[in-house]
Structure 1
Amino acid sequence: MPGPERNVWTTVVAANPGHARAYAQRWRDLEAAGRDIDGEARLIDAMADRGSRILDAGCGTGRVGGYLAARGHDVVGVDLDEHLISVAREDHPGSRWEVGDLATFTLHDAQGAPLAVDLVVSAGNVMTFLADAERVPALARIRAHLAPGGRAVIGFQTARGYSAEEFAGDAERAGLAISQRFASWQLAPWTDDTGFLVAVLVAG
């Protein structure tokens, strides 16, 4: 199935300018109500050595990256939405949160050198919000920021119009290879009819 012609997030926000604020408030309300919103972050924390440098790609409000930063990791987050980045900066000060397009972003360290990270995480169906033409470029930008031996972990609902097979092909075109596949962030076994994909990728 072809992907969207336009970035879904920017299309929704253009039609409803209050969408980003409502989205951010929803996560705050869920956390205040005691709901578990940290499942993705716990997996990434378990995969990472202490003090790892982690890129949260499509970080939104900093929900995942903020958890990881609180556990001693060096986190930088990138998201297209300026309001969500402002929430991440307010709720999780001390980490680096940048407004950027996943299809074109480039990050540098404090010395101006290209930033290399140990792990990339992209949760919350970020890949399905991208336009079809943005998917390979976004995966290529993720690949470009991986340190030698680094891994990327990307999760999304395949029922949202982006199949596991399409994703694997796009990843290969971007210079990435899938090393593991799961059906949930709790590492449920992958099957071909699973409606959710969590893929662990390495440089191909």
Structure 2
Amino acid sequence: MNRWTELTGDTSGEDYAARFAALARSGKDMHGEARFCAALVPAGARVLDAGCGTGRVAIRLAELGYDCTGVDVDASMLAVARKQAPELPWYRTDLAELSVEPEFDLVVAAGNVMALLAPGTEATVVARLAGALRPGGLLVAGFGLDAAHLPVPPGLTLAEYDAHCAAAGLTPVDRFATWDAAPYDGGGYAVSVHRRGED
């Protein structure tokens, strides 16, 4: 079982959406991840939101002109996404079993997706996400590395993540401390960008 399901029981979609709606009403910027991705690939690019949750990132990118698809294992989260953006394709699947054509320009895994996978599946998931990328495509993942940045005990280290990426044919491009592209300084959260080779 993945750590997200253990944490929520897959019944958290409406609560999760309500929490983010409240943050947005308070004036907090909710679109840092989408802005970050939009700076990497041009409008019209194909984007896979892996572990899309309620669709916040994919929906914003679609508004900015991107061709977005969302996948998540949590039916309650996808129900919210489908209600908010019924015109976008949303699929329920475990990322460890993801099987799509290598046609995406960018795959984004925001919201601690990598840290909430079933322990032991991280390498498989990275390989599956890499397999969704066209040659030259980018994998972007942001996740916590310590207890202060995670709802579960820390599991995946950056060294392990980089090793999984290398094994999947991805090379590092850059790493940041936030979705606002602040330089990474060894802190407890990292946003990593890796590129698939041109074959």
Write out aligned runs for 1:129-140 (5 A). Answer: 129-140=116-127
- Structure 2 CA distance for aligned equivalents of residues 7 and 18 of structure 1: 14
Write out aligned runs for 1:22-37 (5 A). Answer: 22-37=15-30
User: Which residue in the other structure is 1:87 paired with?
Assistant: 80
Where 2:137 maps in the other structure, the secondary structure is strand
User: Which residue in the other structure is 1:46 paired with?
Assistant: 39
Residue 9 (1) aligns with residue 4 (2): yes
Where 1:103 maps in the other structure, the secondary structure is helix
More divergent stretch after superposition (159-168 vs 82-91): 159-168
User: Which residue in the other structure is 1:111 paired with?
Assistant: none
| 8 Å contact kept, 2:13–2:78 | no
User: Which residue in the other structure is 2:188 paired with?
Assistant: 195
User: Which residue in the other structure is 1:120 paired with?
Assistant: 107
User: Which residue in the other structure is 2:62 paired with?
Assistant: 69
How big is each residue's C-alpha offset from its partner over 1:31-80, in whole Å with a ceiling of 9 and x where there is no partner? 23332110111111121212110000100000001000011110001000
Amino acid in the other structure paired with 1:130? L
More divergent stretch after superposition (194-203 vs 17-26): 17-26
Q: TM-score, normalised by structure 1?
A: 0.87
Percentage of matched positions with identical amino acids: 41
- Structure 2 CA distance for aligned equivalents of residues 183 and 32 of structure 1: 25
Q: CA deviation at 1:194?
A: 1.5
Write out aligned runs for 1:134-149 (5 A). Answer: 134-149=121-136
Amino acid in the other structure paired with 1:187? A
User: Which residue in the other structure is 1:176 paired with?
Assistant: 170
Residue 167 (1) aligns with residue 154 (2): no
Judged with a 3 Å threshold, the aligned counterparts in structure 2 of structure 1 residues 10 and 65 are, in CA distance, closer, same or farther, namely same
Runs of 4+ more than 6 Å apart: none
Q: CA deviation at 1:115?
A: 4.9
Matched length: 190
- Structure 1 CA distance for aligned equivalents of residues 3 and 113 of structure 2: 10
Q: CA deviation at 1:11?
A: 1.1
| 8 Å contact kept, 1:125–1:156 | yes
- Structure 2 CA distance for aligned equivalents of residues 59 and 179 of structure 1: 23
Q: CA deviation at 1:18?
A: 4.0
- Structure 2 CA distance for aligned equivalents of residues 146 and 102 of structure 1: 14
| 8 Å contact kept, 2:13–2:79 | no
Over the residues paired in the alignment, what is the CA RMSD in angstroms? 1.6
| 8 Å contact kept, 1:12–1:19 | no
Q: CA deviation at 1:177?
A: 2.0
How big is each residue's C-alpha offset from its partner over 1:84-114, in whole Å with a ceiling of 9 and x where there is no partner? 111111112321111111111123xxxxxx2
How big is each residue's C-alpha offset from its partner over 1:124-158, in whole Å with a ceiling of 9 and x where there is no partner? 11100012221111111111110111111111111
Structure 1 unaligned segments of length 5 or more: list them. Answer: 1-5, 108-113
User: Which residue in the other structure is 1:55 paired with?
Assistant: 48
| 8 Å contact kept, 2:58–2:68 | yes
Where 2:97 maps in the other structure, the secondary structure is coil
Structure 2 unaligned segments of length 5 or more: list them. Answer: 147-153
